[in-house]
Amino acid sequence: MEEKKREEIKRGLEEWQKTRCQWKDRDCRFETVSGMEVKDLYTPLDLEGFDYMRDLGFPGQYPYTRGVYCNMYRGKLWTMRQFAGYGTARESNKRYKYLLEKGQTGLSVAFDMPTIMGYDSDHPRSRGEVGRCGVAVDSLQDMEILFDGIPLDKISTSFTINGPAAIIWCMYIAVGEKQGVRPEQLTGTIQNDILKEYIAQKSWIFPPEPSLRIITDIFKYAKEHVPKWNTISISGYHIREAGATAVQELAFTLADGFAYVEAGIKAGLDVDEFAPRLSFFFNAHIDFFEEIAKYRAARRIWARRMREKYGAKDPRSWMLRFHTQTAGCSLTAQQPENNIVRTAYEALAAVLGGTQSLHTNSMDEVLALPTEKAVQIALRTQQILAYETGVANVIDPLAGSYYVEYLTNKMEEEAEKYLEEIERRGGVLACIEQNYFQQEIADAAYRYQKALDTKQRILVGVNEFVNPDEKIEIEILEIDPRVEQEQIERLQKLRRERDNIRVRETLDALRRACEGTDNLIPYIMDCVKAYATEGEIIQTMKEVFGEYKEKPTF
């Protein structure tokens, strides 16, 4: 910046400083929801040294600060992908068709806890949880029902599942084949992000090393057979929901992503053979500008490291593509209608931040699984944003804002400090073993809760603007307790009627493959097509790989 211009801005600031306090009546420290201090005013002086062409550039061009595609939403709107699933496969199939009829443009499957943890519905540990927080899927039969009447060559599907991701993926591929859809036609995503399970969500099955083997086997198999599939969705969402700050979410998620890149290279793959199909999943929390800056910084860090550290030459490997879900942890059971407003602002931040797909939470999700009415309002929130507000008409409309650019730079700077610390400690697996991530998140969650308890931070309807005599009067979705018994009966009928000799043969072959070095996906596929259950496949793999046990944090 020219010295004359710098002095002119400084003089203007001095004049402003003389008058600004005359109308200030808020006596508090101003900071983002993550605790990052916010100044009164931002000027070009806060961006000195910022190279606009190097760090900002243009949409669709390295380092993608302004978006991964040159046209962004002027060319194609984000995918409206509402997360859904409950009860039996037949009930969830009805909900998917309802959402598609209402204008949803992609499916996202929520599984119940037994499925997520690799247990069949009749396992003792599944009791009371079957179909409760998602759909129960025990075998290929359930997957066939789940997608009955939904053409898989015309819809993309996302699966939020990690430990058993390979099994669920094979089931989906098999359903596609039964519909006459070739694997190379399928589009969608499996979350498949086991590292964040050890860090935050805690839904693991196997130890890290065999888990990474399965993931790199998926990379290899997809490259040859399912090339349009996003083989992993590296998830910051659950890290944020566990209490992390925006910077922690950004840094820990990217660290996991780089760990997967290193695992793929170690497994013998060229980085450009699998990196273009890596995707990300971020949280959209309530601090509007902080979230926008987070997404912009994420793209920049990913692009630079992929090109400069990992030697990726394909520009698609540099592009950080991501799905966003509005923050479940920002919603309140008190005054639940307020959640519609929170979700709308969070969705707007995701869109202005350049997301590729979006789930908007329903107002009743703190209380129960969403009702059809609540789901429709959540979807309509996206549609109003897309078609009425005009925010999709301009690419990255906030670029050049002194505050947004400063915050983006600050996010990048603070995230890089975390990435350096993770490397210093020996990498992601070593940090998991040391409980480093877990302790950092726990400390951040404590600070946030303390700010609420002392009213340093206001949560409307909870610690301020409270309705003491409030009664919740919205409809609540209740899962019929008969769902569990119906699912168990169908599962046991399947076991009686299938070719059990073939099931045993495929499971034995899978066990031998686990003991060796072959790619496991073809063996899992054979088990699935023989109608072996998820629990049987997982148990076979556990016999070789064992189970993960977390060390105590304290």
Query: SS3 for 185-206, per residue?
Result: HCCEEECCCCHHHHHHHCCCCC
Superfamily classification of domain 52-453: Methylmalonyl-CoA mutase (3.20.20.240)
- The list of the chain residues with pLDDT below 70 reads 20-28, 553-554
Q: Supply the DSSP symbol for 184.
A: G
Q: Report the C-alpha gap between 431 and 346 in whole angstroms.
A: 31
Counting beta carbons within 10 angstroms of the beta carbon of residue 133, is it exposed (0 to 12), middle (13 to 18) or buried (19 or more)? middle
Which is nearest to 142 in space by CA: 121, 163, 161?
Answer: 121
Q: Is 497 helix (H, G, I), strand (E, B) or coil?
A: helix
Handedness of CA 179, 130, 138, 236 (dihedral sign): positive
The candidate with the shortest Cα–Cα distance to 188, out of 220, 221, 156, 150, is: 156
| Residue 501 identity | I
Single out the residue of 251, 278, 211, 77 nearest to residue 547, CA to CA: 211
pLDDT value of position 554: 57
* Neighbour-count burial of 531, counting CB atoms closer than 10 A to its CB (0-12 exposed, 13-18 middle, 19+ buried): buried
Q: Which pLDDT score, from 0 to 100, does residue 17 have? A: 83
Q: Which of 234, 311, 310, 319 is nearest to 276 (CA)?
A: 319
Separation CA 548–CA 544 (nearest Å):
12
Token pair belonging to 91 = 């009930």
Alpha-carbon span 547 to 411, nearest angstrom: 36
**233: phi > 0 → left, psi -120 to 50 → alpha, else beta; which?**
beta
The full DSSP string for 248-298 is HHHHHHHHHHHHHHHHHHHTT--HHHHGGGEEEEEEE-S-HHHHHHHHHHH
Take residue 399 and report the two structure tokens written for it.
């670029």
In angstroms, the CA 275 to CA 310 distance is 10
- C-alpha to C-alpha distance for 197 and 161, rounded to whole angstroms: 10
DSSP 550: P
pLDDT given at position 23: 59
CA distances for 244 relative to 248, 440, 448, 458, angstroms: 6, 8, 9, 18
Nearest of 191, 177, 182 to residue 144 by alpha carbon: 177
Model pLDDT, residue 22: 59
If 0-12 CB within 10 Å is exposed, 13-18 middle and 19+ buried, where does residue 31 land? middle
| 260 touches 272 (CB < 8 A) | no
| β-strand partners of 229 | 188
